């Protein structure tokens, strides 16, 4: 298979900074789309993979799965997009497309495992996949998304991970006009959960440990802010919420939130990978048919649905633009939650 060497930013080890490196991209095959990357969002998963926090990272790591760019070439069988279209690529670049999950447009739950946009085995080149911290990407058209031209393309990039990660549970649990939704944590995921739930017509509450975030949350669309360390405030919302989206990315106690669920309500974890501590208390769950669940990104059809919804309602992520060369500093700032609410890389800084 023919390949092309392009510029990217990646790391050679879990303790090394990201720097400019050369990677190989395959030449366009019949169903492929080649995309000139304009913007790439910066996700916590990028940092965790670069530093091997979850184990299993294969180096060099080139992160980035919130990609927006323009189509520059298409294969002979491509019908979904044309050269010049504004498009996106999210967290997946392939799946088996034949299993029960894939047949239901749930490629994210592919029974043989979907291929992640970065740091997954590349079925074409025999290496690992490389992400959007690069000049261009080549992706099968099935995994290419149409980006609405009426939205700021840089601010669209985080929708492809943070947006769909919160949209998918909102849709799965049938959030609609009049639903009562709470969001735990105000960060990249949390701020999108507020915007999307509000766009769907829900009453939205933020749970936070930080009173100073109240003003920001209400600007984003929250109707109420509950300080989770205030027992009186927590008691005031007991039995209220149909759905709670928990975006907190570290070990924390979910038990205090269970009592705030309505009968048959669900708390869904989208931000944390790992064991729950302390032990989950099932008493309020049993007495109220309440559930603790979890969710990941959405499938391709669902992601396109979200982008079209955002186009209709003018919803994008709140971002801070950075140059590619500032990524290591951005990682350190992310660890301190020093961003409102998502970094996005202007990829022109890599190409110049």
In a domain, 302, yes or no: no
145 in a structural domain = yes
Identify whether 53 is part of a domain.
yes
Residues 277 and 199 placed together within one structural domain of the fold: yes
Q: How confident is the model at residue 352 (pLDDT cuts 50, 70, 90)?
A: confident
- Residue 134 shares a structural domain with residue 230: no
Residues 47 and 64 in one domain: yes
Tens digit of each residue's pLDDT (9 = 90 or more) over 275-308: 888 899 999 999 999 999 999 999 999 999 999 9
Mean pLDDT score, 146-172: 98
What CATH number did the domain enclosing 262 receive? 3.40.50.720
- What pLDDT does 311 receive? 98
Instruction: Identify the domain boundary among 279, 294, 309.
Output: 294
What would the mean pLDDT of 219-241 be, rounded to a whole number? 97
Does 250 share its domain with 139?
no
State the total domains in the chain: 2
What does the DSSP assignment read for 197-261? HHHTT-EEEEEES-GGGHHHHHHHT-SEEEETT-HHHHHHTTT-EEEEEE---S----HHHHTTE
Q: Are residues 135 and 15 in the same domain?
A: yes
Same domain (yes/no): 51, 169: no
Structure confidence at residue 9 (pLDDT): 98
The helices-and-strands tally (H runs, E runs) of the chain is 12, 17
13 and 148 share a domain? Answer: yes
Is residue 26 classed exposed, middle or buried when 0-12, 13-18 and 19+ CB atoms within 10 A define those classes?
middle
User: What Rg value do the Cα atoms of the chain yield, rounded?
Assistant: 20
How far is 132 from 343, CA to CA, in rounded Å? 13
Q: Is the pLDDT of residue 60 over 80?
A: yes
- Per residue in 237-256, pLDDT (tens digit) is 999 999 999 999 889 999 99
Residue 310 inside a domain? The answer is no
Confidence of residue 182 (pLDDT cuts 50, 70, 90): very high
What is the domain extent for residue 290?
162-294
Verify that 208 and 347 share a domain, yes or no: no
288/171 same-domain check: yes
DSSP state of 124: T
% of the chain exceeding 70 in pLDDT: 100
**Same-domain pairing of 328 and 281:** no
Residues 173, 68: one domain? no
Residues 139 and 267 in one domain: no
Is residue 70 within 8 Å of residue 35, measured between CB atoms? yes
pLDDT at 36: 98
How far is it, in rounded angstroms, from Cα 291 to Cα 312? 32
Q: What is the pLDDT of residue 85?
A: 98
Residue 6 has a CB neighbour count (10 Å cut-off) of 18
Q: What is the mean pLDDT of the chain?
A: 96
With residue 350 as reference, give the H or E element that holds it.
Answer: helix 348-351
CATH of the domain at 53: 3.90.180.10
Question: E strands of the chain, at which residues?
Answer: 3-10, 19-26, 32-41, 67-74, 86-89, 92-94, 115-116, 136-140, 145-146, 180-184, 203-208, 224-227, 241-246, 261-269, 291-294, 319-323, 342-346
Burial (0-12, 13-18, 19+ Cβ within 10 Å), 48 = middle
18-38 average pLDDT score: 97
Structure tokens at 176: 């609609």
Q: Answer yes or no: are the C-beta atoms of 136 and 36 closer than 8 Å.
A: yes
pTM of the predicted model over 0.85? yes
User: Which of 38, 244, 29, 46 has its CA nearest to residue 130?
Assistant: 46
pLDDT single digits (tens) 311-328? 999 999 999 999 999 999
């Amino acid at each position: 298979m023919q390949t092309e060497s392009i510029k990217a930013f990646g790391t050679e080890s879990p303790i090394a900074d990201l720097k400019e490196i050369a990677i190989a991209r395959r030449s366009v095959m019949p169903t492929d789309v080649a995309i000139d990357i304009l913007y790439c969002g910066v996700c916590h998963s990028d940092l965790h993979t670069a530093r091997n926090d979850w184990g299993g990272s294969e180096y060099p790591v080139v992160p980035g799965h919130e990609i927006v760019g323009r189509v520059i070439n298409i294969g002979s069988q491509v019908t979904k997009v044309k050269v010049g279209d504004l498009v996106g690529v999210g967290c997946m670049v392939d799946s088996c497309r034949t299993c029960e999950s894939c047949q239901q447009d749930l490629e994210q739950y592919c029974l043989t495992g979907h291929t992640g946009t970065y740091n997954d085995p590349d079925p074409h080149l025999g290496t690992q996949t490389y992400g959007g911290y690069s000049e261009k990407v080549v992706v099968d058209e099935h995994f290419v998304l149409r980006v609405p031209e009426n939205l700021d393309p840089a601010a669209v990039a985080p929708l492809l991970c943070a947006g769909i990660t919160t949209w998918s549970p909102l849709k799965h649990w049938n959030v609609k006009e009049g639903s009562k939704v709470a969001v735990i944590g105000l960060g990249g995921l949390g701020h999108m959960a507020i915007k999307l739930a509000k766009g769907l017509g829900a009453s939205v509450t933020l749970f936070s440990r930080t009173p100073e975030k109240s003003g920001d949350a209400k600007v984003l669309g929250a109707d109420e802010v509950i300080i989770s360390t205030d027992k009186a405030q927590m008691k005031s919302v007991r039995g209220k919420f149909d759905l709670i989206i928990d975006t907190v990315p570290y070990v924390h106690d979910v038990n205090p939130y269970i009592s705030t669920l309505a009968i048959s309500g669900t708390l869904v974890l989208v931000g944390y990978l790992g064991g729950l501590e302390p032990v989950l208390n099932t008493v309020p769950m049993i007495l109220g048919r309440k559930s603790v669940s979890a969710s990941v990104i959405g499938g391709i059809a669902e992601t396109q649905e979200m982008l079209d919804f955002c186009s209709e309602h003018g919803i994008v992520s709140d971002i801070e633009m950075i140059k590619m060369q500032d990524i290591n500093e951005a990682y350190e700032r992310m660890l301190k939650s020093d961003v409102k609410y998502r970094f996005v890389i202007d990829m022109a800084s890599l190409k110049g």
